[in-house]
Amino acid sequence: MIAIEHKAHCVLAAVAGEFSLKDYREFEDNVLYELKFHGRPNLLFDLTEMLGYTLDVVWEEIRFSRAHRSDFGRIAVVTTDQWTTWATWVAQLFVDSDVQIFSSAVEAERWLLEAPATA
């Protein structure tokens, strides 16, 4: 399950349970909306409640990131899981964004909101 919020030129997504392809596509739609109407969004993924993900999510994330390589501002990933941290560092190879890992969603959101909006 995914919960998505738009705030100050950011797309904030929190995943609970299994992260499915349907969830990821909902996230994509929200990011594309923000991109179309407000320019390059900052992104937050809170994965602290994620229990797992399907393989098709990984492939879709790579495809989406490559197709939109320069379309994101800052990207914050909230996790305490070492494998998710490692996967995040690998994924940053596909985007031209400042990607940071956080253990706190509050800190991650603060970091995103301090970034100037870019068009």
Residue at 118 is within a domain:
no
Q: What is the per-residue pLDDT across 32-89, written as a single tens digit (0 to 9) for each?
A: 999 999 999 999 999 999 998 888 998 898 899 889 999 999 999 998 887 776 566 6
Contact 83, 51 (CB under 8 A): no
Please state the domain count of the chain.
Answer: 1
Q: How many CB atoms lie within 10 A of CB 4?
A: 15
- As beta bridge partners, residue 43 has 11, 75
CATH number of the domain where residue 90 is located: 3.40.50.10600
Q: C-alpha angle 110/28/66, rounded to 5°? A: 95
Residue with more model confidence, 115 or 3: 3
Q: What is the per-residue pLDDT across 77-99, written as a single tens digit (0 to 9) for each?
A: 998 887 776 566 666 666 788 88
Residue at 119 is within a domain:
no
Residue with tokens 């229990």: 51
- Counted residue by residue, the chain has a size of 119
Q: Which domain holds residue 71?
A: 2-113
